[in-house]
Structure 1
Amino acid sequence: METRVSARRLSVLLGPRVAGAPAYGWLADGIRRLVADGRLLHGTRLPSERELVTALGVSRTTVTRAYGVLRERGYASAVRGSGTVVQVPGGPVAGGGEPLELSALQPSGEDVIDLTCAAPAATPGLNRAYEWAVERMPSFIAGAGYFPLGVPELREAIATRYAERGVPTDPDQIIVTTGALAGLAAIFRATLHRADPVVVESPTYPNSLRALQHAGARVVGAPLVTEAIDDVAGVIRRSGVRMMVAMPDFHNPTGAVWSDEERARIARKWRSSGVTGVVDETMSDIWLDRPIDARPMAGHAPDCVTVGSASKTFWGGLRIGWIRAPHALSGAIARARLSMDLGAPVLEQLVVARLLRTQRELSAESRQRITDSRRVLLGLAERCPGWQVDAPAGGLSLWWHLPTESSTALVTAAERRGVLLAPGSLFAVDGRGLERWIRTPYALDEMTLRRAADAIAEAWSEVGMRPGAVRSH
């Protein structure tokens, strides 16, 4: 299916013309930036020259010359019967999804749709932030380039962001890492001993679970706080845990959000039981219908340790995360961090600092794009008899309840049709069960997810009523 951008839509995306720049240069550079930022996808057909002349109020010569410049630079090509089509120079690189344990075992390629990961496309404006950061680099190149705790201006930007959310924070409490997972690993190394029990809600994010296991922790599963908070408190009391790892903002995979009351109650339980709360906030900015109506967990539990990341809000390829630690733990976590590596790349830190100051959160365009993609996969409820889901107000995935214990069989059937899914068992604390559950991330573009939905519906028609499938009660 061909993607086409209308002249009117392209005019909106380009914005006002830059004064003083040649018209053809402004147009060519504007389209180039849209391609570089992922706002015009590889293979999108541009408006005809006549249509764009009318929409922009420029001459035919201007549009012809701009399209010619794009072709010369590798950002467009002339396709017979389709006009001018934009392209990423060299073509898009396959893969690049967030790796889960399962992904190394599955095939990949241009025709495969990978729904084992929940990672959106880059934010509009990323390319411009990189250009700004490159201009700042001479200030840093004169030195050795090691900033093991983070570039000062990024630490200040992150601290300011927490303060604006109602959690007073100074830059000394911020430790910049190479992603949220590296932050979790540093926290575990600094605070846990081998065989220490750690409470984790089940289902949970598999990579966090693997990091805990690698640290030698004894993982203790608990129900979701939003479903059985009394049972969670009971698990904490009975197991004598030292730590609880939580994701109160658009929990992965369920999309659940803790209320203020639930946050306050868990915070009190942490204090009374001497438990260190470790809070994963990587999804906190990914609201779609409405912002989270609750204070950050650190507002309820000042002694908790919080992990954040630029990966979901801006782009996974930045590989920049951070830790907000109480003063009492910041030194130990910083030392643990230094035993792992000597700091994140300076250029990417400057990019994130710029984005935090200028964009601050998920862009409106990205939010709309993800919302449209979510709508496509919510349509599986009508196409797959018996499927049920609580549509989340944000996050990047749907957590479906199946009418039969068919998760693994569905994964196999979908893979034969070119769609990679992760079975429910991958999100279980003990790696077993959850055969009546499947996660479908909606981070990819709408057109790709329409093809994925077709394949999933076809796969379900094969396995859903297969003889021997165990039905839910």
Structure 2
Amino acid sequence: MGSRLVTQLGPENLTGASAVALANRIRALILDGRLTVGERLPSERALALELGRSRSTVTRVYGSLEADGYVTRLHGGSTRVALPHAAMPSQAHEESGAIDLSIASMDSTPGLYDATVRSLPRLAAMRGTSGYSLRGLPELREAVAARFTARGADTDPDEIIITSGALNAVNLVLSTIGRRGERALVEQPTFPHALEALHRHAYRLLATPVDAEGWDARHVTDTLLRSRPHLAYLIPDFHNPTGATLPDADRARIATTARSTGTRLIVDETTAELDIDRGWTPLPMAAYSPEVITVGSMSKIAWGGMRLGWIRADRSLISRLLAVRPSFELGTALLEQCIAVELLSDMPALTEHVRRRLRAGREAVREGVAAMPGIRMPHTLGGLSAWLDLGAPVSTAVSLAARARGLILPPGPRFSTGGVLERGLRVPITLPPERTRDAMQRLRAAWDDARHGEVGAAGEMPRDAVV
């Protein structure tokens, strides 16, 4: 079994790579978090054997990384991942003039302030209570359930738990039903932090491909039937990062197959309301099977600062989730819940704001891509981002060049399970148009640098979360 380093590098991309190129690729893995600080790397001899390269080449690779502060080495001992002491914290990106495209999220909806003001009497009325909310406020669970019902999946408030965001919801589900060593089906590409959560619970991942054109539904069902994974994590609406939407017929087929194989579907609907001009509205996957577990969030339609989400599941699982939840949190903040009640009472206004902002952001990205020969932007009907086709496996090189230009941009492999997707690049369509135009100008410069081999160390930028 190969080392985690080589798995993350993607050995198929390393044929003939120079010591400088290898060092740059490892540096990229560290910068975007696929290798963690303190993690032990293979010895020079072991890595040379695994890559089929000379030991002197690996010595130069590790030497370069050590000189830049990306690894620490003990004589006769281990080589471990580090970050340069000069690296600035991620919160300093804006102050340094960098534009952070690792976060695909809009600023707050204009209605957030008024909703907050309207929510205060509701919050004040609860001052005589304990303030803990393990299941969530009844009126908020009713509002979330009503939204599911309106979209075509009849839902009772007792089938809803309010959580501190969608990722928190995923972790609660995995803490409740997770089985170490079991298989999990995931899309490729997909949301990186969901992959990390599954790895943390010791799942073995099976990938099914998704691109801007959508899923290979037969591949999904064949994998379910052949491997019978314990669970599957899917993003069927405005998939992150490709923006694709799974058709109704495929939803029904996958849900039915998963039920027959005993696979629990975790469906992430964080992006479900981010419609620009899709022209049709699919049924939630929960409409096709009572065993589908759905997670959702307010962060993409209201504001990332609202750490509020939910789980929709059958009552028996809800009981199990409630039994496990106190082991790591005692509920969701009441203020955010009160605000969410107000926001959900006027979903048409909320979604119209989202539509206008995403349309403007999409157009700004499209204009920027048009000035970069060789890059293709697929038609993007909604969601957080455009999944660009670079036409060649150069995503990591472009990402490193972008950092040198003050642009924080995760490479395509950040969204994969094993160092692949070097042709892809996720660019958010969520920033204000003027900020996006600035970002695209920097990306164009980085694209030119990468095509001409002018990729520096970019040693001053630390790794980032991807949202």
Query: How big is each residue's C-alpha offset from its partner over 1:419-453, in whole Å with a ceiling of 9 and x where there is no partner?
Result: 110001100022x1211111101111011111111
Higher RCO structure (Cα 8 Å, ≥6 apart): 2
Q: 1:100 to 1:182 in 2, by over 3 A?
A: farther
Partner of 2:390: 402
Q: 1:260 to 1:464 in 2, by over 3 A?
A: same
Q: Is the 8 A contact 2:167 2:194 kept in 1?
A: yes
Take 2:327 and 2:32, find their aligned partners in 1: how far apart are those partners? 25
1:108 equivalent to 2:93? Answer yes
1:268 to partner: Cα distance: 1.5
Q: 1:192 to 1:130 in 2, by over 3 A?
A: same
1:313 to partner: Cα distance: 0.7
AA matched with 1:157: A
1:452 equivalent to 2:456? Answer no
Partner of 1:321: 309
AA matched with 1:317: G
Partner of 1:278: 266
2:424 to 429, 437, 449: 437
Partner of 2:248: 260
Q: Is the 8 A contact 1:253 1:398 kept in 2?
A: yes
SS in 1 for 2:375: coil
1:337 to partner: Cα distance: 2.1
1:412 equivalent to 2:400? Answer yes
Root-mean-square deviation (CA, aligned residues, Å) is: 2.1
Take 1:177 and 1:117, find their aligned partners in 2: how far apart are those partners? 21
1:350 to 325, 335, 338: 338
1:205 equivalent to 2:191? Answer yes
Partner of 1:228: 216
1:176 equivalent to 2:165? Answer no
Q: Is the 8 A contact 1:313 1:361 kept in 2?
A: no
1:380 equivalent to 2:365? Answer no
Take 2:349 and 2:414, find their aligned partners in 1: how far apart are those partners? 30
Q: 1:330 to 1:433 in 2, by over 3 A?
A: same
TM-score (normalised: structure 1) = 0.75
Q: 1:276 to 1:201 in 2, by over 3 A?
A: same
Give runs of aligned pairs for residues 35-184 of structure 1, distance below 5 A: 101=33, 108-110=93-95, 111-184=97-170
1:311 equivalent to 2:296? Answer no
Aligned pairs, how many? Answer: 369
Q: Is the 8 A contact 2:412 2:423 kept in 1?
A: yes
Query: How big is each residue's C-alpha offset from its partner over 1:195-232, in whole Å with a ceiling of 9 and x where there is no partner?
Result: 11110011110011111111222222122393422122
Q: Is the 8 A contact 1:286 1:362 kept in 2?
A: no
Partner of 1:464: 451
Greater shift in the superposed pair: 231-240 or 310-319: 231-240
1:136 to partner: Cα distance: 1.8
Query: How big is each residue's C-alpha offset from its partner over 1:53-78, in whole Å with a ceiling of 9 and x where there is no partner?
Result: xxxxxxxxxxxxxxxxxxxxxxxxxx
Take 1:409 and 1:151, find their aligned partners in 2: how far apart are those partners? 48
Partner of 1:250: 238
SS in 1 for 2:126: helix
AA matched with 1:381: V
Q: Is the 8 A contact 1:100 1:117 kept in 2?
A: no
- Indicate the structure (1 or 2) with the bigger Cα radius of gyration: 1
1:157 to partner: Cα distance: 0.8
SS in 1 for 2:420: coil
Take 1:349 and 1:301, find their aligned partners in 2: how far apart are those partners? 28
Query: How big is each residue's C-alpha offset from its partner over 1:342-383, in whole Å with a ceiling of 9 and x where there is no partner?
Result: 001101100001110123563423321221111111123321
1:291 to partner: Cα distance: 5.1
Q: Is the 8 A contact 1:224 1:232 kept in 2?
A: no
Partner of 1:364: 352
Take 1:389 and 1:138, find their aligned partners in 2: how far apart are those partners? 49
Q: 1:466 to 1:100 in 2, by over 3 A?
A: closer
SS in 2 for 1:188: helix
Partner of 1:34: none
Q: Is the 8 A contact 1:404 1:464 kept in 2?
A: no
Greater shift in the superposed pair: 99-108 or 399-408: 99-108
Greater shift in the superposed pair: 276-285 or 400-409: 400-409
Q: 1:442 to 1:296 in 2, by over 3 A?
A: same
Query: How big is each residue's C-alpha offset from its partner over 1:134-160, in whole Å with a ceiling of 9 and x where there is no partner?
Result: 222221011111111101111111111
Take 2:269 and 2:174, find their aligned partners in 1: how far apart are those partners? 16
Partner of 1:93: none
1:391 to 379, 385, 390: 379
1:100 to partner: Cα distance: 7.4
Structure 1, unpaired ranges of 5+: 1-98, 469-473
AA matched with 1:439: R
Structure 2, unpaired ranges of 5+: 1-30, 35-86, 456-467
Query: How big is each residue's C-alpha offset from its partner over 1:208-261, in whole Å with a ceiling of 9 and x where there is no partner?
Result: 111111122222212239342212222222222111110000000110100011
